Structure 1
Amino acid sequence: SRVRNTHPFAHLNLIWCPAHLGIEGNEEADTAAKEAADPDADPEADPPPILTSLASIRQRIKAKLKAASLTPTPPTDSKRVAATNALPTLRRLRDHYDPPGTRRALAALPRPEASAIAQLRAGHSPLLTFLYRIGTVGSPNCELCGSPETTEHFLLLCRRYRGIRKALIKELERLKIPRRTQNILTNPLAYQPLATYIRLSYRFYRARHLRQNPTQHGQPRRQQAPKKPPRQPKTS
C-alpha cells in the first residue's frame, strides 16, 4: 500500500524464482552443504575434492615458506655450525650499530631527513666520496675545503656548515653523546638534532625541489621587483 500511495501510476510485476526445489544440480549442492554442516559428521572422514585456484596455491606456498623460515633448522654440516656460532656476534653487532629505538626515532622524523640519515648510516649518500666511487663525479674532494667529502667531513669538519654545526654540537653535548661520526649515526637520541643539521645544510636536497618549495626548509623567497606603473598618455 505504501508503494501504491507513493507511486500511484507504477505497475508492479511479481516473478517467483524457484530455489533448489526440483532442480537436480541444486538438490545435490544442498545435500552436500547439509552434510558438511552436520555436527555429528565424522571429522576424520576425507572431505570431497575442492577445486583450488592459482591464487590460493600461491598463498599456501608463501605460508609454508614463511613457516619454514621461522622454524630453526638443525645444523647438519660445518657451514651451518659456523653460522650458528656466529649468531651471537651478529646480534652484538646489530645491537651496537642498530640499538633499540633506532627505527622508532627514524619514523618520528620527516621522510627526507630520515632518508638522509639512513643513507649516511649505510655509506651510500650523495656525498662526493661515494659518487666518485661509483663513477658519477670526477673528484671526491669538497669544493670549498679540498678534502675528501666523507661523512665525517660533512658532519664535523667542513667549513661550509660551521655556523649550523654549532647547534648540533651544543645539542650533542647536552645529550652527552661523543662528538664522533659513529656515535652520531648510531645513537637514536642524536637523530633529531642531526635531522635539523641536514635540513639546514641543504646538502641532500635537489635544486629543483628547493626551487619549487623555497620556504619549506627555511630558504627565503626571492623578492620580486615592483611592477612599473603604466605610462600615462601625454597631453598636449
Structure 2
Amino acid sequence: MDTRLKYKEHIARAASKGLEAAMELRRLRGLTPATARQLFTSTVAPVVDYASTVWMHACKDKASGPINRVQRVGAQAIVGIFLTVATNVAEAEAHIATAQRRFWRRAVKMWTDIHTLPETHPLRRSTAWIKKFRRYHRSPLYQVADALKNIEMKFLETINPFVLAPWETRMQSDIEAMPDSHTVPGGSLQVAVSSSARNGLVGFGVAIKKQPPRYRKLKLKTFSVTLGARSEQNPFSAELAAMAHTLNMLVGLKDYRITLLTSNKAAALTMRNPRQQSGQEFVCQTYKLITRLQRNGNRINIQWVPTSADNKLLGLAKEQARTATQKDAVPQGSAPRMKSTTLKIARSQAAASKDLPEKVGRHVKRVDAALPGKHTRQLYDRLSWKEASVLAQLRTGMARLNSYLYRINVAESDQCACGQARETVEHFLFRCRKWTTQRTALLQCSQTHRGNLSFFLGGKSPSDNEQWAPNLEAMRASIRFAIATGRLDAT
C-alpha cells in the first residue's frame, strides 16, 4: 500500500504492464478487428485492471495519461488508427470499454460481492464503517458506496463459498434428451415450470401432471406465484424458485418418478452443477427437498425442453407464469434480492456517460452522429486489418492526406496535388480530379447520397431517423476506392 495514499506508483506499474501487453498485441499484424478486440479484452485489460479498486479514485487528470496511452495502442492494434487520435474517439471506433468504465464495473462488482458474504465474514461487517467516514480517512471504496447509496443492499442474498460438498451426489439433468411419457410402477409425475418477467414483476407458473399407480385417473394441476419486482428478481431465479416451491409441495409422495421440465437451460445446468452464484438459496432448498423425497423411494430427474418443442405441459406453465405478472399482481411472500439483478442495476447507475466529450472529435462527430455505438463492430469486424485501417483513417480525419500531414509538420502544404483545394477526406473521396477513374464504382452506389460523407463511411448523419442502419456496400466501395488510389498507404 502507498503510505501517502497517492497511488502514483500503482498507476504507473499498471500502465507499464498494460502498455507492454498492448505493444505485443500490436505486433500481431494481420488479425481481424474482431480477433484483436477479443485478445485486448482477455490479455491487455486484465493486466491494467488488476487491483484497480484500490487506486482508481486517484486515476484522474494527468495520472490517467499512461492508462489512456494503453487504450490508444490497443485501439490501434484493433482498427489501425493513428496514435494521435483522441482516446475517446479511439475507444469508440475500436468498440472497447473506457478504462474508467472498466474500473467502475470491477469496483461495483466488488462492493456487491462484499454484501453477499455471510454475516460472519470480516469484510461483510466492514461495509458499515466504510459509509460513515464522510470528511476524513475515506476508504477507496467510499466513492463506490456513495454512488450506490440509493440501491438497497441490506436484503441482498447470501452466497456461500460452495453449495454442496465435493462428495455429495449431484442432481441428474438431461440437456439433450426429450421427456418420455411412459408410466412406471408406483406412479409418475411430470412437473413443468416456467417464468415470466413483465410489467415490472417476475413470477413463475407450474403445471403438474400426475399419473397415480394402479392405472387410476390422470390428474392435472396448475398454479402461479408472483415472486417479486423486476428490480430484485429475474427469470433465472424464478425458474429455480419454481422448482423449490413445487418440490416442497410434493414432500409427502412415495415411490414416484418425478420429472421436472424446464425451458431455461441455465437453470437445468445450474441444478446439475451448482456453483458459487446468484440464486444459491433456491438451489440449496431444492437439494434439501430432493434428499427428503429420495428417502421416500422417489426418483427425481430434470429435463430441459427447448422452446421450439411443442410441449403442452410447458405451454400451460407459461400461461400461468404470465398470469403471475399481470399489472394488478401482488408479490406473494418475500424473496431475497438477486445479486445478478442488483449488480446490473448498480452498474447502469454508476457508469459514466457514453457520449463523446463536447470538444473532442469534431470530424468524427460530423461523420457519425451515432458514436459511440455498437454499429462500429458491424463496420469493422468483417474487414481485414488493412481495410479497417483505411476506414479508421477516413472516419477520424487523421489520415495520410495533406490536410492532416501539414498539421503535424510532415507536409509542406495542405493543398492537394490536383491544385484545386485542400486535401481533406471529402475532397479526396468525391472531388479530386486525379482519381476520377477509380471513383466510378464509388459513385454508382447511390444517386441521392453523392457527397454525403456519413453515408459512404458507415456513419449516421443528423437527418437520419432512429431506424438508421449503416450502408455496408457504400462503405466497402469507399474502402476499395482508397486502396485503389494507394494514397493512404504508408511510404
TM-score, normalised with respect to structure 1: 0.48
Structure with higher RCO (Cα < 8 A, 6+ apart): 2
The structure where helix makes up a greater share of residues is: 1
TM-score, normalised with respect to structure 2: 0.25
Task: Find the structure with the greater CA-based Rg.
Answer: 1
